[in-house]
Amino acid sequence: MPLIALSGSDILAAMLSGRYWAGGADLVLTYSTPSVGSVWPGYPNAALGGEPFLEGYSVFTSGQAQTFAVVVELMDSFVGASFTLVDDQVDLGAIRIAFTSVDPDVWGYAYYPDVNGNPNLDDEPGDIWISSNVAGSAFTSGGFDFLGLMHEIGHALGLQHSFEGDHPLPEQFDNYRYTIMSYSSQTDHFVARYALMPFGMSISYNPVYPITPMLADIYALQNLFGADPATRAGDTSYTFDPNLGVIQTIYDAGGIDTWSLIGHLRPSFVDLRPGAFSSVDCFSREAQIEANVAAVGEVHRSDITQTFNGASIFTWTDNVAIAFGTIIENVDLGDADDSAIGNDAANIIRGFAGSDLLDGGGGDDTLDGGIGDDTLNGGTNADNMQGGDGNDMYVVDDALDVTTESAGQGMDTVQSSVTRTLGANFENLTLTGSANLDGTGNTEINVINGNTGNNTLSGLDGNDTINGGDGDDIIIGGWGIDSLNGGEGNDGFAYTIGDGNGSVNGGNGSDSFVITDVAGLGSILNANLTGSVLTAVAGNGLTSIESVFANMGDGVDWLIYNTSSDVAVNFTTTAATGFAGVSNVERVVGGSGNDMLTGDNLDNRLDGSTGSDTLAGLGGIDTLIGGDGDDWITGGLANDSIQGGNGNDNIGWVVGDGRDTIDGGADFDTFSVVGSASAELGNATWNGLSVTALIDNGLSNLEAINLDLGGGVDWLIYNASAAAVVNLQLGTASGFASVSNIEKVIGGSGNDTLTGDTLDNRLDGLAGADTLDGGAGSDAVLGGDGNDTIYASAGNDSLQGQNGNDTFIWTSTDGRDTFNGGADTDTVNFTGSAVADVADANWNGTEITGLLNNALVSIETINLELGAGGAGGDWLRYNSTVGVTVNLLAGTGSGFASITGVENLIGGTGADTLTGDGGANKISGNNGDDIITGGGGNDNLTGGVGNDTFVYAAGSGNDTIVDFDAWAVGGQDFLDVSAFGINAGNFAARVAIIDTGADTVIRIDDTYFITLKNVSGDGDNVITQADFIFGP
């Protein structure tokens, strides 16, 4: 029962009569009992009528007198005043007692003390008269008569009835539980007994009455007389007979006291607080049934149960009170399920057997639950609690509370309203209240519950269950297979790599799961994903988790997805599907979806697993594995390892990236290289079947390679002994599916075929018999070693044969090129167009250094084929001061290995020998003393400046000489007809000189006609026999 809900003033107003013995705690009050044979002395003031109760007067027996003395001394033990027994034969006590028969129905009557000690108001203050009807009573403690004695003595000491006066006790307090001055019993203190009767069953009730003054009485008496400082001032042990009902109030003046219920089998509730009631040996209805069944036999259980359930059976509770001001320090409970509440002292409460409830109250208490499932609440201050065997519950409200359990002593729980770490051998922790507290487990299998505040809960070792409850909690499972539940609020779950696995349920609110790797040894983070929601990570099942963060710390760490969903991971931005952020993770394995995996500046490993994935390594020395599916892969800045795996993969590389090792894997894989705006070198290793390295990237199992080097002047360089074929115009190259934006190509040591485009290319054949064609643009073409074939093509090119017997090919549509044959024997084949060409040849007497506006250096063989010249034909014109020899019929000419398709000739300024062919040639000697032979056909011949000779023979056509000079002074020209066998003797017969007016016609053998233009035959401009050269 709680503390009495009465104030001190309420008690005093109800209990004090206003009549009292003066003297307070210093009072020495006498009492006496008339002995047998004594007479009752008269009153000092006989005028008041004498004593009305003297009628039927009789004295107490010696035994009754002794009991009266015991009761008075009992009352004396509560107060500071001294009550002294005096001999009635010698002195009359202030309080006297005797029997009377005046009113048999009144049990007793007592006189109040005199008012403030005034004897004139009442002749006999303190006298007590007891009905002669109880003259045979032994006044046994616990009986009604014993209660009656205490009641009447109370009047004699100045107490009134609790129900009298202007301020009586409230009805609920007006009974024997609170005061012996009441007329009302406490019916719940009856104990029923079942008895077998001859004709049926019977229930007997055994009422129990107080054996001491009760709370209100003691408080009122001590107000009058003070408290006795000597009553049980030492170390007192209070015991109770479990077989006897008792109602009492304990007053104790000091010492270290113990309330002992050791051996009691019925439950008790002990409340050590002053003014509180305790229930000693509670006798519940169920317990009474069991007791009676045990007494009369199991066969009567049904009848007993029916009878007790239908009768007024009361429980035995609240039968012992602690007086106000009394401190009992210790309690030893019995073997039932007991309860105890301490006071403000440093209590020691021991539960022993049974499932006990121990509450230390105030003070630094020591609680020992003993055997059984106990509840221990130390109360305020720093308490020491030990549950003992059984599944115990501890209530902790002070950070300095000590809780102790030994191994194997049950499943124990701590309820704490302060931050708490479980000690050894404790299993469960529940935080209470609304404060922001921390709760920490131990190595056991813990259940940890948060409160309504913002908690930090940590399980440590063991397979723990942690429930955050309300509030924004931080939950840490620790080692073991844990079950973590956030409950309400925005909760955060902290998981350290190396901790155990389990299940995490965020509950309501916006909850987060934070993963940390503090060991830095490298860890694997497995993640299960449904859609974009993580359902498990690091072996922990996740439910209702809105945000997942992972910081894997030092070491090489893995993120592995187990999902069919598409995932995106970017180590640079710390983004990852299902995560709010990941950091310090170096390696990732995607699921079976189409994943996008991006690295950072560390050495990453990106594994797409199955699905059509996109992998980008960025910085760092990365390993990228496409796995199954058609993947897109780029390595990034450092030297990466790229494996396409199964599927048709696309692998990208940007100039400026690192030098990678690339294995396309199975199926059809493509490697694409993209350049920048700067010049790049595209080094390619070619084995005749595939490119095995490109720009220092090792390549294998690639079915297509695309090379686009972007802006700038870029190179494709083959490192190969096998022949390579490159056509920049078509965008093709050996080992490549396409090439673009490449301006320069260097072949290997094989017989390469290199073709440029419309840009200014450089083609370098290196070793091998290469075929090089610069295409349009001003190209630089180098044959290198080997017997190369080099095509000039459009544009003004620089063509170098270098070592080997090289062949250059030029057509009239080509540009104006520079040919440098280099070492060995080199050939240039010039081919004209379908229209009239003029082939200007620069001849230095040793070699042709220029032709058709092309510069020639170190060219050993030149072949000129001008083709069908059309109207007017094609010209070969020498720019030379050294005489040249040209024979169009023989196809020869100075500096040429062959000449074909040339109809017309122009010599240089030297003494040239020019010979036509069977066609109608135009031949001009230019300056110098030239020898010109028209050959067959009707030729047009010009000697130019100098003494020129025109040679004729059988088969010559009808030629026209444009500038024949017959005047010896001005540069004499001659007609050589020696081949006809014409001499001075037959000249006149065979040669006719015909003056046609402006021109002169020479007729030979009436068959051959030579027209000399502008030779008029006048003056010096006349043809004579002297202008001819004869044979022998």
- Kindly state the DSSP code that residue 450 receives in the 8-state scheme: -
Residues 658, 676 contacting (CB under 8 angstroms): no
- For residue 595, give the nearest of 625, 623, 573 by alpha carbon: 625
Residue partners of 550: CB distance under 8 A and separation at least 6: 514, 515, 516, 525, 537, 559, 576, 579, 581, 582, 583, 585
The token pair at 351 is 């539960």
Residues 469, 434 contacting (CB under 8 angstroms): no
* Domains of the chain in sequence order: 8-173 (3.40.390.10), 187-208+227-322 (no CATH), 675-688+709-821 (2.150.10.10), 826-1029 (2.150.10.10)
DSSP for 300-324? GHHHHHHHHHTS------S-EEE-T
The token pair at 631 is 């993947």
pLDDT (0 to 100) of residue 313: 53
For the chain, what's the residue count? 1032
The token pair at 258 is 């113990």
Q: Residue 988, Cβ neighbours under 10 Å: how many?
A: 11
The four Cα atoms 1016, 1019, 1022, 1025 give a dihedral, to 10 degrees, of: 160
pLDDT (0 to 100) of residue 88: 81
Residues 584, 571 contacting (CB under 8 angstroms): no
Residues of the chain with pLDDT under 70: 1-5, 36-52, 115-123, 186-206, 283-285, 308, 310-316, 868-872, 968, 970-971
Sequence-ordered strand ranges (E) for 10-141: 28-32, 82-85, 95-100, 108-110, 128-131
Residues 804, 788 contacting (CB under 8 angstroms): yes
Give Cα 967 distance to the centre of its chain. 111
Alpha helices in 694-824 (DSSP H): none
The token pair at 748 is 């290997």
Residue partners of 179: CB distance under 8 A and separation at least 6: 15, 162, 169, 173, 213, 214, 215, 216, 217
Residue partners of 653: CB distance under 8 A and separation at least 6: 634, 635, 660, 662, 671, 672, 673, 674, 695, 697
**Each residue of 642-679: pLDDT tens digit?**
999 999 999 998 888 889 999 999 999 999 989 888 88
β-bridge partners, 924: 906, 942
Residues 329, 348 contacting (CB under 8 angstroms): yes
State how far the alpha carbon of 979 is from the alpha carbons of 505, 829, 1000, 1004, in Å: 121, 35, 21, 12
Distance CA 490, CA 407 (A): 37
pLDDT (0 to 100) of residue 40: 62
The token pair at 418 is 């302060």
Strand 277-278 relative to strand 320-322, pairing: antiparallel
DSSP for 797-855? -EEE--SS--EEEEETTS---EEE--SS--EEEEE--SS--EEEEEE-SS-EEEETTEE
Distance CA 246, CA 318 (A): 10
- Does the predicted model carry a pTM greater than 0.75? no
Residues 952, 1004 contacting (CB under 8 angstroms): yes
Residues 122, 51 contacting (CB under 8 angstroms): no
pLDDT (0 to 100) of residue 893: 93
pLDDT (0 to 100) of residue 119: 43
Strand 991-995 relative to strand 1000-1004, pairing: antiparallel
Distance CA 347, CA 366 (A): 6
Distance CA 630, CA 336 (A): 76
Residues 591, 531 contacting (CB under 8 angstroms): no
Q: Residue 426, Cβ neighbours under 10 Å: how many?
A: 24
The token pair at 568 is 């995106």
pLDDT (0 to 100) of residue 497: 84
pLDDT (0 to 100) of residue 199: 43
DSSP for 100-150? E-S-TTS-EEEPPPPGGG-TTS-SSTT-EEEEGGGTT----TTSHHHHHHH
Query: At residue 320, what is the residue type?
Result: V
Secondary element (H or E) of residue 1009: strand 1008-1012
Distance CA 911, CA 688 (A): 56
Give Cα 381 distance to the centre of its chain. 42
Distance CA 672, CA 388 (A): 76
Residue partners of 50: CB distance under 8 A and separation at least 6: 42, 43
Residues 395, 413 contacting (CB under 8 angstroms): no
The token pair at 348 is 């020691």
Query: At residue 316, what is the residue type?
Result: W
Distance CA 151, CA 221 (A): 13
Residue partners of 290: CB distance under 8 A and separation at least 6: none
The CA radius of gyration of the chain, in Å to the nearest whole number, is 67
Q: From its phi and psi, is residue 1006 left (phi > 0), alpha (psi between -120 and 50) or beta?
A: left
pLDDT (0 to 100) of residue 580: 93
- Kindly state the DSSP code that residue 113 receives in the 8-state scheme: P
Query: At residue 938, what is the residue type?
Result: N
Distance CA 750, CA 915 (A): 44
- Kindly state the DSSP code that residue 41 receives in the 8-state scheme: P
**Each residue of 926-935: pLDDT tens digit?**
999 999 999 9
Helix (H, G, I), strand (E, B) or coil at 109: strand
